[in-house]
Every structure is written in C-alpha cells, then in structure tokens.
Structure 1
Amino acid sequence: MDAEEMSQDRTDDRARWRALYVASILSGFLLLGIGDANVALPAIADALHIGPTSLQLVSAGYVVTFGLTLVPFGRLGDQGHRRRLIFIGLSVYVVSSLVCGLAADWRTLIAGRVLLGVSAGILMPQTIGVIQQLFSGAERGRAFADYGVMTAIATALGPSVGGLLVTLGGQAQGWRWIFLMNVPIGVALFAAGLRYLPRTQPVAATANRSLDPFGAVLLGVTVLLVLYPLVLTTGLPGDSAARWYTLLPAAVFGVLFWRWERRYARRGSLPLLDGDLLRTRSYRIAMLVAASWLATGPAVSLVLMLYLQLALGLSPVLAALVLLPSAAASAFGARWAARRVLLRGRVITLTGLFMSAGGILVSALAANLLPPHPAIAVITVAQVLNGVGNGMVISPNHVLLLIDVPKEKGGLAASIGHLTQRIGNSLGVAATSAAFYAVIYGQAGGLTNARRSTYDSALTAGVVTAGIFFVLAVWASVVDLLRMRRARAVPPSAALATPLK
C-alpha cells in the first residue's frame, strides 16, 4: 500500500468516526427530550390550565406516535434513504419544538408533541443504522461504547435538565425553554449531518419493492391499542379500568398482522418485519433484556423522584440533582463495558444488572430506615452504583442486539428494538407508579394526609413491582449466557455446518 492509499484510508476512518459522533449526539438529543419534558408537566398544567386527561395526552401523544413510526421508517432507512430521513426528521423536530415552545393553548401543545413523536420515530432507527452500516466486528464494540456514553448521559440527565430549565425560567415560562432549546441544537445537528453523514445508495434487493403499507397499518393499530392504556395509567384512583379493554382488539390486530406478514413474504414481497431477523436468537434475547430493564430502571427512578419530593420535601430540581450522579457513572459503565462485551458477553450485562439492583436496594433501605438528611446522602451515593450498572447493561446490550444482524437490516433491527423498549418502559412505569399510588391512597386516602411511613411503604411497593421486570431481565441474560457458552463448546466444523441463530 503506497502513501497515498494510506492517507486515504486514514481520511475515510476519520470520516466514519465523525459520522458516529453525529449519530450518537443525535440519539442522545432525542433521549434527553423524553426525560426533560416529563419533568415539566406540572408547570405546563399550571401555565396552560390543562386538566388531567389533556395533560396525559401531552406525554402520550409523543410516546404513541414515536412507537407508531419506528418500524416503517427503520425499514425505509435500510432501503438506502437513511441520510435523507435524518434531515427530514430533524426539520420536523425543529419545527415541532418551535410549535411546542410557543404554544398558547394545550391543543397546540399536544399537536406539537405528536409531531415531535413522529420526528423522533423517523430519526431514532437511523442513528443505530449509521453505526451498523459503518462498523463491524471489534470496531462496532468501540463505536457502541461511544454511542452508549452519549445515550447513558442523556437518559440520566433528562430529569435534571428539565428541572433546571423550569427553575431558571420560572414556573410560568420555564417549560417553554425545554422545547425552544431544541431549535438551535437541531439546526447545529442538521449542519453537522450535511458535512459528516455518509451518502447511501438504495439497496438493490429492496430499492424497488413495496414498503408493505397494509402491514404498516395493522402494526400501527396494534401498537396504538397496546400503548394507549399504558401511557394513560397514572396510578391515581381516577384511572378508568375501561382503558384496558383495548388490549383485546390489540391481540386480534396483532394476530392479523402476523398472518399478513407471513402471507406477504410467501408472495415474494418484502414484509415490514423480517422473519430471519426475528428468528435470530441473540437478537430476540437482547430485545427482551432491553425491554425488561427499561421497565425496571426508569420506573424506579420515577418513584424515587416522587418519593424525594413528596416524602422528603425536596424541590423538583433538588430531587433531580440527587439522582444526577448516576449520569456520570452510567457514562463510565457504558464505555468500559461496551469495549469488553465481545470478550465477556453476557457476564458484563449480568454484572451490571446486579450492580444497579444493589444501588436501588440501598436507596430503598436508606429511605425506609434513615432520617431525611442521611437518607438523601446515602441515596445520592447509591446512584453511583446504580449508574455504573445501568451503563453496563444498556451499552453492551446494543452490541449484542445487532451482533448477528446483517448491515443492510440495521435500521429495521434498531426500530423493532426501540419499539419493544418503548412498550417495556411504558409497562414498567404504569405498573410501578400504580403500585406506588395504590399504597398512598389505600393507607392515607390521598397525598394530603400521607405521612412519611406511608411514602416509605409506597416506595417499597414500587421497587418490588419493578423487581418483577428485573427478574425477567436476569433470566433472559442467563439464558443468553448459557447459549454463548454452548456455542463456544461446539467444534469449529460443527459450528460451520450449523450457523448459530
């Protein structure tokens, strides 16, 4: 190789890593927007005089449309339109953020949040698709290490940033800052994308094939009916039991969708869901681990945030600061673990699960056994352990999710993974918050008459409920660990004869 070729290789290598950083920052930007907006809901309710149902729609509008758009746009990105979709998604995100930030009434705000969800659903599959497209082997582990740092920081910082902006801007206007700050950041990412994101050509095998519009409708209806009762669950006595009735038609539409996809594939067309992808065992298990853990960690953070405010009297921003150490710790855990996951596999995620569980358990014990000030101190320190463990789960699991997925299916694989994570997260938050409030209203009849002992019991109930999902994540990780060890024990000749799925 001559000097000119070596120089070109170094240039191409730098270009790939710059594209990775743009994709990672974009993904972190989207995740930050989920956490910070939820903290602002009480301020939004006061400023726009929104009732409980409409306030739920401010949050639900984003979550539902995000889930609805993930899979179709993941498939579209894999057909060679990834770069174009990123610019379309960023444009919609900036405009809808401006609509939310300047909203004069709750109807405009909900419309803006719905558009935000659509744009996030367009963008999120493309960020992981870029990494899947540009990196492979050990390099992909290093790439996901950097990606995991950004997503871990953004996930942990969301509540703190939201609380800080509401505090700085005031109760009446601070919530607008959360949306308006998206505008300059989105414009900067658009400019960076124009310069650094790679151009992609349509994939020959899929470029001229239908996107399966009828399958997209069936999947969309199924997702809508599943998410609807979850995102409208607050745990308060006013929740209507009738919302759960949507799960019956959801099951019907889910079966219809599955049958349609199989029939569509038999006709030689390209289905929305890839059968080979769903039959890949490493992919299925990683999806289950991610969905179970996102039903655990964020749900516990929510009830812990509520406990710090309701039981210990902290302001929203101070409560967020107590949980802030998990952000830096999560970034450290993510970077350390993702660079070693190809050597250690599921041992790393299992270790992370138990470390994070240890931090949660210490926090719950401190809340129940210590006076307020010592309890706050111990909970703050325990968040370091929780954060390191969280990073050791999420970032390596991204690598294991896509380790057996072909590059040309990276966007679809990421979108299905994110969809299951959103459903898992919504289920965990709904179940945990319901358990938390059920104890408060069962023992004290409401928030006004509740004492600290009541809140202690409520926190314990929430943590125990989240623990059910934790057990599921551990079980899936152990199953995958045993699978990997059996695969290593197979002689090379047998492994070549029987590909691992």
Structure 2
Amino acid sequence: MTSKAAPSTPVVRTGPAPAPADGLDPRRWKALWVCLLVGFMSFLDVSIVNVALPSIRTGLHTSEAGLSWVLSGYVLAFGLTLVPAGRLGDAYGRRTSFLAGLALFTAASVLCGLAADETWLIAARLGQGVAAGLLTPQISGLIQQLFRGTERGRAFGLLGSTIGIATAVGPVLGGLLIQALGTEHGWRWVFFVNLPIGLLAFPLARRLLPRGTRGPRTGLDPVGVVLLGGAVFALLLPLIEQQSWQGSAKWLLLGLGAALLAAFLGWERRYALAGRAPLVDLGTFRFGSYSLGALLGAVYFAGFTSIFFIFTLYLQSGLGYSALAAGLAITPFAVGTAASSVVAGRNVHRYGRRMITGGLVLVVLGLTGTWLAASLTSGQTVGWATALPLFVAGVGSGTVISPNSTLTLQDVPVAQAGTATGMLQTGQRVSSAAGIAIVSSVFFARVGDGWQAAFRAGILTSAAIVALALVIALADLLRRPAGRRQAG
C-alpha cells in the first residue's frame, strides 16, 4: 500500500530576501543604471546651460552680472553642499538623500524654465546646485556600497562614460532646442528636459536603490559645516567672479578662505579627540591612495575644465560659430572620454596608476595638437582641424578621471564613502574654478592680439597644468617598487 505524500505547505517569506552568499545586492546593476540616469541628468544640465546663455540674456533681458550668477551660483551652491551631503548620506542613508536630491533637482529645473526674471532664475539655479551637491556623493557612495573589486572599476567606468556622453549631448541638444524653438523661449526647454527624466527616475530609485547600511547618527558637526562652507565660499567666489568683479579687493577672500580652512582642520582634530564624529575624518588622508588621488585629480581638473570655456568663447565670439556649431566642435573630446571610460573601468585594477599616467600623456599630446591645429587654421575650418586632437585628449581624459576615482576611493571604508567623495569633489570644484580663473586671465590678456592668439595662449596654459598632473603621476610611479606599480 502506497502512502500519499502530504501536500507541501507554501513558504511565506517576510521581510527582505536573504542576501546572496557573496554579500552583494543582486539588483546592484539595475540600481547602478538608475544612478547613471540621474547622473546623466545632472551633468547634462551643466553642459547644456553654457550654450543657452546668449538666449537667456535675450529672453530675460539679463544683465552681465546676472548671467554670470546663473553659472557661478550653481557652482557655489554645488561646492558648498558636497561634503555635508556626503555626511548626510553616510549617516542617514544614501537612498533617502538620493531621493531628496532628485526631487529637489527636478522641481528646481521646472522653476528655472518658468523663470520670469533674472532673480527668479538665479534663485532656482541655486536650488539646482544644492540638489546636485546632494546627489553627487550618493552616486559614488552607492557604487562603493554596491560593488567590489573589478566590478567597482567597471561601475565607475560606466559613470565616467555617462558623464562624457552628457557632456557631448548637452551642447548639441541645447543648440538644437534653441534653433528649433527660438532664442526667446528655446532656453526654457534646456531646463524642462529634466522633468521627464526626473519623473522616470524617481519611482525606479525608490524601488531599486538599497535601503542600505546607515552609519551611527552622530550629528552633523554644525561648527565644522559652517567653517568648511565659509572656506569653500571664500575660495570659490573670487575665482568664479574674477571677470565681473572688478578690482583687486576680491583676492583678499582667498586669504580668508585659507584661514577658515586652517580653522576647520584644527576644529576637526579637536572634535575627534573629544570622542565625537567630525564632519570629515582626517584619517582618510592617511591612505596614500586617497591623498595622492585627491591631489592628482585636483591638479588635473584645474587644467582640463578650462578647455571648454575658452574654446567656446573662441568659436562663438571670435569666429562667429552658432551655439549648435560650437557644441558640435566640442563633441570629439566628450566622445573620446565616453568611449575610453568604459574600457578604462574594466582594466583599472589590471594597470592601476600606469593607466592614469598614460592617459595624462594623451591629454598633453591632444592639447598640444589642438594648439597646433588652431595655429595653422582659421575661420570655419578650426572645428574640423581640432576634432582629432580633441578626441585624443578626450580618450586620455577618460583614462584619468574614472580610474583615478576608483583607485582614490579603494581603501576608504564604505561607511565613509559619501563624505570622502564629497571632499574629493569639493577639491575638484575649487581647483576647476582656479584653473578657469588662471587660463581665462591668460586668454583675455591676449584678446587684444586677436582671438586666435588668445586661444593659443589659453590652451598652452591648460596643457601646462595637465603636464603638472603628469609630473605628480610619474613621481608616484617612480617611488613605488616595480611589483606594486599597478596598485593604487
């Protein structure tokens, strides 16, 4: 007589699914694509607005000072928010901070598009800057949290490629919108394009981003926030306002910024010795990979960021290019960056800082080739002549930025990833502003000799700053034992 098996009882699971054996979130790649979509939106907003500035001036009758603040207000708010936002994400959850930043960025973008005057637009741009500063550390922090080893390098490579694509698409898309909708209203859609992206990304982020590990809720070190914020403000303001703020009094703020930075470092040490959690764990800089990568990244950003500024000025003001044509002329650099970032991300743990050194060599060669092309051509042929050397420089840039981020953050504990990323990017923002100030000063000093002469002087200055980053990379390689030169 056969016995009949008892019917199986369905197992009802409560709570989250068990973690896989490797401890990695099985939805990490889907979560990454949400982060990349939002990163694309925030970086698109930077590059797309540059070509819209003449149309904003026409559409809103904006003053020169107001137009400057449309750009500089965003940079200031972004730079001031990065480190506190990273700390918020580390302590209270990166998913929560990410969603808050995404909602604010989308709303601020709509307000920018609806602006009735320059005051309204500047205030909305400040909101966008705060939101971007809230989002950016969470994206890098989530990559640190979700990925390990070679996967982390691939993820950072995809982030670098996304930034390159956004940088390439931005000027072209902005030029197309303005050309299609006119200078009066086309600039508004430069901001409105963020609305559908934000509406798509928010529910996906709620569903896919991990609720994650939260650090101890130890407070936000308000004194540290004020001191660091004051230092960043005092350092950035004279740099980004150097053309519109006449006189030499503005440079006194650099001394104030240095004093506030010293006070911040002293406060953070005392705060930590008292057994409390400082805004920035200064012990992070004891990691050689972090301190070297932060220095190299800061110098590199000072060199390459200014290229877009002076090239756009040369093409539009000096050669009469349209916004669309100028955007297309800059595209080869961004395309090279996007293409090489993915490859570099897959191979960063194999070649390490040797790859970054090779990338810096390519950037120097590409910028030197751009200088030569601009010296031998003029008029409408400049865009074509500079395409190949700019592409080479872009390929080099893609093998510098993402791999440097991967190796710089590799030894940082995941619990501090957001704050460490905030500090890293704050340094890059300040150095970018300093680089633009230096290169544009050289550029405008030579405008009297002609736009071509001004551009050649500016691009050589940019190349010299990148060459300094190359010297730092070479010195680091030479001091390492031969067997460890691929390490971070």
Same fold (TM over 0.5): yes
> Distance between the aligned counterparts of 1:157 and 1:483, measured in 2?
40
Superimposed CA distance per residue, residues 230-276 of structure 1 (whole angstroms, 9 cap, x where no aligned partner) = 11123x7x733222121121122111111111110000000011121
Does structure 2 retain, via aligned residues, the 8 Å contact 1:40–1:163? yes
Match runs of 1:464-483 below 5 Å: 464-483=460-479
Mapped partners of 1:348, 1:193: distance in 2: 33
Shift of 1:434: 1.7
Deviation larger for 121-130 or 283-292:
283-292
Report the Cα distance in structure 1 between the residues aligned to 2:290 and 2:81, rounded to whole angstroms.
Answer: 21
CA distance in 1 between counterparts of 2:129 and 2:104 reads 10
Choose which of 140, 159, 166 in structure 2 pairs with 1:147. 159
**What amino acid does structure 2 have at the position aligned with 1:321?**
L
Number of aligned residue pairs: give it.
471
Deviations 1:420-468 (A, max 9, x none): 1111111111211221111114x4xxxxxxxxxx122101211122233
Structure 2 counterparts to residues 103-142 of structure 1, below 5 A: 103-142=115-154
1:233-252 mapped onto 2 (5 Å cutoff): 233-234=242-243, 239-252=246-259
CA distance in 2, matches of 1:172, 1:61: 23
Structure 2 vs 1, CA of residues 427 and 255 (structure 1 numbering), >3 Å: closer, same or farther? same
Which residue pairs with 2:424 in the alignment?
Answer: 417
Amino acid in structure 2 at the alignment position of 1:67: G
Query: RMSD between aligned alpha carbons?
Result: 2.3
Alpha-carbon distance, 1:39 to partner: 2.0
- Pick the aligned partner of 1:85 from 97, 112, 122: 97
Residue correspondence of structure 1 range 96-495 to structure 2 within 5 A: 96-203=108-215, 206-207=216-217, 209-234=218-243, 239-441=246-448, 443=449, 454-485=450-481, 488=484
- The CA deviation string for residues 46-79 of structure 1, in whole angstroms up to 9 with x for no partner, is 2212222222111111111111111011011111
1:19 to 10, 22, 31: 31
Kept in 1, the 8 Å contact 2:299–2:468? The answer is yes
Whole-Å Cα distance in 2 between the matches of residues 32 and 383 of structure 1? Answer: 20
DSSP-derived class of the 2:320 partner: coil
Q: Is the 8 A contact 2:38 2:197 kept in 1?
A: no
Q: From the superposition, tell whether residues 338 and 53 of structure 1 become closer, same or farther in structure 2 (CA, over 3 Å).
A: same
> Given residue 253 of structure 2, which amino acid in structure 1 is its aligned partner?
T
Residue 93 of structure 1: CA displacement? 0.8
* Alpha-carbon distance in 2 for matches of 1:374, 1:185: 36
CA distance in 1, matches of 2:380, 2:354: 36
Q: Distance in 1 between matches of 2:230 and 2:451?
A: 38
Letter in 2 for 1:481: L
Range with greater deviation from structure 2 (410-419 or 377-386): 377-386
Moved more, 377-386 or 169-178: 377-386
Match of 2:12 in 1: none
How has the CA–CA distance of structure 1 residues 174 and 12 changed in structure 2, closer, same or farther, with 3 Å as cutoff? same
Deviations 1:143-199 (A, max 9, x none): 212222112222333333323322222111111111111111111111110121111
Distance in 2 (alpha carbons) for counterparts of 1:109 and 1:304: 26
Match of 1:68 among 80, 83, 86: 80
TM-score with structure 1 setting the length: 0.89
Q: Is the 8 A contact 2:105 2:128 kept in 1?
A: yes
- 1:261-294 deviations in Å (ceiling 9; x for gaps): 1110000000011121122121111112222222
8 Å contact kept, 1:48–1:104? yes
2: distance between equivalents of 1:473 and 1:164? 36
TM-score (norm: length of structure 2): 0.91
Aligned AA (1:345):
G
Deviation of residue 28 (structure 1)? Answer: 2.3
Report how far residue 374 of structure 1 moved. Answer: 4.3
Q: Which moved more, 1:365-374 or 1:39-48?
A: 365-374
Alignment partners' CA distance in 2, 1:317 and 1:432: 24
State the secondary structure of the residue aligned to 1:295. Answer: helix
Q: CA deviation at 1:413?
A: 1.1
1:339 is paired with a residue whose SS is: helix
Structure 1 counterpart of 2:259, one-letter code: V
Structure 1, 392-401 or 262-271: larger mean CA deviation: 392-401
* Range with greater deviation from structure 2 (124-133 or 193-202): 193-202
Q: Indicate if the aligned counterparts of 1:23 and 1:128 stay in contact, CA closer than 8 A.
A: no
Deviation at residue 80 of structure 1 after TM alignment: 3.9
Residue ranges of structure 2 left out of the alignment (5+ in a row): 1-16
State the shift of 1:126 in Å: 0.2
Conserved in 2, the CA contact under 8 Å of 1:225 and 1:250?
Answer: yes
User: In 2, are the aligned partners of 1:346 and 1:478 still within 8 Å (CA)?
Assistant: no
Q: Distance in 2 between matches of 1:7 and 1:474?
A: 43
Q: Percent identity?
A: 39
Give the AA of the match of 2:337: S
- Say whether the 8 Å CA contact 2:164–2:334 is kept in structure 1: yes
Question: Post-superposition shift, 1:470?
Answer: 0.9
Deviation at 1:313, TM superposition (A): 2.6
Aligned letter for 1:210? G
| Partner of residue 4, structure 2 | none
